[in-house]
């Protein structure tokens, strides 16, 4: 009787995990940017392997950042990983399948394997379009050096001069 209960509990747990993965709302996006930051210097305490006299080396950490554009938002994603962690093959401008769950984003690679990334920033695309339009207007309003400039000179009868008095604080 106990083994049947245990088996039923394991089956329910497996079905629950499978159902949670199936409930994700998958959508498509486009890769825009990718960056990998590695520390220049690695500080760590080297521990010794109990079976040998060789010191263990700590795995170097790296921060992988990705930018994906969806139909409504620009997503900035981050993955804190070691050098051993499998990489995500990214081709800029190519489509990608993602699922967003609060502060977690799941990305499917070309083989269909899911990678879990943290959502750092979510920006509506309308905001990005307005910023780009303002930059274009600002650059268009600048006068280029080849445009002739007209100088206006204001002539006054007598300029006003204000006398200055210098006071010393030391006596």
From CA 162, how far away is CA 36, in angstroms rounded? 60
From CA 136, how far away is CA 140, in angstroms rounded? 6
- Find residue 100's DSSP bridge partners: 105
Please tell me the pTM assigned to this model. Answer: 0.56
User: Using one digit for the tens of pLDDT, what is the confidence trace for 9-24?
Assistant: 667 665 655 555 558 9
Does position 156 have pLDDT exceeding 80, yes or no?
A: no
What was the pLDDT predicted at 152? 44
From CA 119, how far away is CA 104, in angstroms rounded? 6
Nearest to 103 by CA among 79, 120, 123, 124: 120
In a domain, 29, yes or no: yes
In a domain, 39, yes or no: yes
What was the pLDDT predicted at 105? 94
Q: State the total domains in the chain.
A: 1
CA 88-93-94 angle, 5° bins? 60
Question: Tokens at residue 23, please?
Answer: 């409930």
In a domain, 33, yes or no: yes
Mean pLDDT lowest for which of 8-12, 34-38, 79-83, 101-105? 8-12
User: Using one digit for the tens of pLDDT, what is the confidence trace for 133-154?
Assistant: 777 887 776 645 455 444 444 4
Domain containing residue 104:
25-132
Average pLDDT over residues 82-111: 90
User: What average pLDDT does the structure give for the chain?
Assistant: 75
In a domain, 87, yes or no: yes
Task: Judge residue 117's burial from the number of C-beta atoms within 10 Å of its C-beta, 0-12 exposed, 13-18 middle, 19 or more buried.
Answer: buried
Distances (CA, A) of 66 to 36, 46, 79, 114, 137: 9, 32, 8, 15, 29
What was the pLDDT predicted at 170? 57
What was the pLDDT predicted at 133? 77
């Amino acid at each position: 009787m106990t083994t049947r209960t245990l088996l039923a509990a394991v089956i329910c747990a497996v079905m629950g995990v499978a159902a949670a993965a199936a409930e994700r709302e998958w959508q498509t996006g486009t890769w825009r940017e990718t960056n990998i930051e590695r520390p220049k210097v690695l500080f760590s305490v080297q521990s010794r392997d109990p079976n040998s006299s060789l010191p263990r080396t700590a795995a170097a950490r790296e921060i992988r950042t990705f930018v994906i554009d969806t139909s409504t938002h620009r997503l900035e994603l981050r993955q804190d990983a070691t050098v051993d962690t499998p990489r995500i093959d990214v081709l800029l401008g190519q489509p990608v399948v993602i699922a967003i769950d609060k502060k977690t984003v799941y990305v499917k690679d070309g083989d269909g394997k899911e990678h879990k990334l943290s959502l750092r920033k979510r920006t509506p695309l309308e905001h990005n379009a307005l910023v780009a339009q303002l930059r274009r207007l600002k650059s268009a309003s600048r006068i280029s050096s080849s445009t002739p400039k007209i100088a206006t000179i204001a002539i006054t009868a007598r300029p006003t001069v204000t006398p200055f008095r210098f006071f010393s604080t030391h006596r």
